[in-house]
Amino acid sequence: MRQCRMPMRKITMKNDTLPQELIKQAIAMMKIAYVPYSNYPVGAALLSDGGKVFCGCNVENASYPLTICAERNAVFQAVAAGEKNFKTIVIATQNGGAPCGACRQVMVEFAPQMRVITVDAQGQVFLDTTVADLIPHYFGPTSLTD
């Protein structure tokens, strides 16, 4: 199984195409998620404006609040590598589920217009939208200015 490397080779994508490489990476990450409590694996592949890909999977903990979602895992890895501008995130779950509220809030902090694609374990697309559409009237950095 090929896993995401930080930073991975640069990829380019036309606006009207599905990012097959990101879909493959997200599904691969879903398969290695640590989910002994929910049994709901999630994988994410995040494309930066610079063309680098950052991946994450959800990692659960017996102390539930310490669990980290795949989407936040990928965003935090990207920020730790100096990336703060993002184009697309692909999120893979068994059923194509949408990101939770906490992940939406973290994503909107950096990229309200970022493309968000959710797929199931076979790569079928369930959602293709933007972060701002997932969290309308969001609280973000501009909410703190006068």
Nearest to 44 by CA among 113, 2, 99, 1: 99
pTM: 0.89
- Helix residue spans in the chain (DSSP H): 20-30, 70-80, 101-110, 131-134
Is position 113 within any domain?
yes
pLDDT, tens digit, 9 for 90 and up, residues 107-135: 999 999 999 999 999 999 999 999 999 99
For helices 70-80 and 101-110, give the axis angle rounded to 10 degrees: 30
| Host domain of residue 124 | 20-144
Place of tokens 């293709």: 128
Task: Name, in order, each residue with C-beta under 8 angstroms of 117's C-beta and a sequence gap of 6 or more.
Answer: 18, 19, 22, 23, 88, 89, 90, 91, 125, 127, 128
Is position 5 within any domain?
no
Domain at 42, CATH number: 3.40.140.10
Is position 75 within any domain?
yes
Is position 95 within any domain?
yes
Is position 1 within any domain?
no
- Overall number of domains in the chain: 1
Please identify every residue annotated as catalytic: 71
93: three-class secondary structure by DSSP = strand
Tokens of 89: 């995130």
Task: Give the pLDDT means over successive 10-residue stretches in the chain (146 positions).
Answer: 45 64 97 98 97 98 97 98 98 98 97 97 97 94 84
